[in-house]
């Protein structure tokens, strides 16, 4: 059998238990097996009790797999006298006895283990428990229900909420944001909250109306009043007329959303000067992309105070 290129590194992970090692490897490369081999060496060769070993995994499934594979290793040594010296069998028996109570599992379960053993030192009540995925989800839903009511009742957030909803943001999106903040709660204070509540500065939309009218004014270049692309330019003119005088954020946002619904199909090249139809259509699309970018800026500006509020609640 051909030796692996990193065989020496794998051997070191397994045997060099006196050193602290950092292993960086991709999925499926054998990290779990290497961890199992190292724990096996610690227990059977070095004689370290499993009660003094912590093996932390990312998921409960990985922790259960790690425990099962260690059990198989220890049982193989314990059941087969020819597998090694009697001392190894005794150590394997001790490891099997300690395995069910060993600190093998997720970071949450390991933290719970420490806090349960030292509640007074941690300033906690004697009985604490780590919620499983279902319990955590139910608890979050309860907190979100309260947060949602408080969000909608907060007068200072009335305008940002209205603008966000008008921009297509749903309460479900804010719920997802709250859940993401909850998952990375330790980063909120440094990444989200510094500087205090953000100042909302909405983008200037006036240039879009001037540009829209300039583009629509080229309808006079068409040689046929029945050309269907003229209706597209007419819709652009109607858009500018409807929203140009909007002096409140809600109507400006409505105009930006409506701009995304305009289309630029139809029209016959032969009824326009050479290259004119393509140039006008290209100008319309470029204008619409600018409107989309302004809409994104608008949405981002309205979401900032909401995100800050949600982060504070988490």
Of residues 311 and 6, more confidently modeled: 311
Look up the pTM and report it.
0.60
Last residue of a domain, one of 122, 154, 173: 122
Do residues 199 and 307 share a domain? yes
pLDDT at residue 31 in the model? 86
pLDDT at residue 187 in the model? 85
Average pLDDT, the chain: 89
Do residues 157 and 281 share a domain? yes
- % of the chain exceeding 90 in pLDDT: 56
pLDDT at residue 1 in the model? 56
Lookup: tokens for 121 = 């030192």
Do residues 83 and 177 share a domain? no
Do residues 220 and 238 share a domain? yes
pLDDT at residue 4 in the model? 78
Question: pLDDT band at residue 83, thresholds of 50, 70 and 90?
Answer: low
Lookup: tokens for 195 = 């500087």
Do residues 166 and 235 share a domain? yes
Pairwise CA distance, residues 6 & 51, whole Å:
31
Do residues 115 and 213 share a domain? no
pLDDT at residue 166 in the model? 86
Are 308 and 193 in contact by the 8 Å Cβ rule? The answer is yes
Do residues 300 and 196 share a domain? yes
Of residues 37 and 60, more confidently modeled: 37
Segment 155-162 shows an average pLDDT of 90
Do residues 212 and 233 share a domain? yes
Segment 114-125 shows an average pLDDT of 87
Domain membership flag for residue 127: no
Weakest mean pLDDT among 32-46, 66-80, 185-199, 279-293: 185-199
Cβ of 172: how many Cβ atoms within 10 Å? 8
Do residues 170 and 32 share a domain? no
pLDDT at residue 242 in the model? 95
pLDDT surpasses 90 at 52: yes
Mind listing the pLDDT tens digit for each residue in 183-206?
A: 888 788 888 888 888 888 889 899
Do residues 16 and 67 share a domain? yes
Are 253 and 163 in contact by the 8 Å Cβ rule? The answer is yes
Spell out the alpha helix ranges (H) of 26-156: 31-40, 60-79, 86-99, 107-117, 119-122, 133-153
Pairwise CA distance, residues 15 & 38, whole Å:
7
Domain membership flag for residue 1: no
Pairwise CA distance, residues 165 & 52, whole Å:
54
Question: pLDDT band at residue 116, thresholds of 50, 70 and 90?
Answer: confident
Pairwise CA distance, residues 120 & 125, whole Å:
7
Query: Whole domain around residue 223: which residue ranges?
Result: 132-314
We report the CATH number of the domain holding residue 106 as: 3.40.50.300
């Amino acid at each position: 059998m051909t030796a692996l290129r990193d065989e020496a590194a794998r051997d070191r992970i397994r045997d060099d238990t006196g050193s602290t090692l950092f292993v960086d490897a991709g999925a499926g490369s054998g990290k779990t097996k290497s961890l199992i081999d190292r724990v096996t060496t610690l227990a059977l060769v070095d004689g370290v009790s499993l009660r003094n070993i912590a093996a932390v995994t990312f998921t409960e499934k990985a922790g259960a797999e790690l425990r099962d594979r260690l059990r198989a290793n220890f049982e193989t040594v314990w059941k087969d006298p020819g597998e090694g010296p009697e001392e190894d069998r005794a150590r394997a028996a001790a490891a099997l006895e300690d395995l069910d109570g060993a600190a093998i599992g997720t970071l949450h379960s390991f933290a719970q283990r420490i806090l349960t053993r030292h509640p007074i030192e941690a300033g906690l009540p004697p009985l604490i428990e780590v919620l499983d995925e279902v319990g955590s989800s139910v608890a979050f839903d309860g907190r979100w229900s309260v947060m949602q009511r408080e969000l909608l009742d907060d007068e200072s957030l009335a305008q940002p909420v209205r603008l966000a909803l008008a921009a297509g943001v749903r309460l479900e999106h804010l719920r997802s944001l709250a859940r993401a903040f909850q998952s990375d709660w330790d980063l909120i204070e440094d990444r989200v909250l510094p500087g205090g509540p953000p100042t909302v500065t909405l983008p200037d939309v006036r240039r879009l109306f001037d540009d829209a009218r300039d583009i629509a004014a080229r309808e006079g270049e068409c040689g046929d009043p029945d050309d269907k692309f003229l209706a597209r330019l007419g819709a652009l003119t109607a858009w500018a007329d409807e929203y140009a005088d909007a002096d409140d954020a809600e109507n400006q946002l409505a105009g930006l959303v409506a701009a995304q619904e305009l289309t630029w199909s139809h029209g016959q090249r032969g009824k326009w000067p050479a290259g004119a139809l393509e140039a006008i259509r290209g100008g319309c699309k470029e204008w619409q992309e600018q409107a989309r970018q302004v809409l994104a800026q608008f949405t981002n500006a309205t979401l900032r105070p909401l995100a800050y509020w949600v982060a504070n609640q988490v």
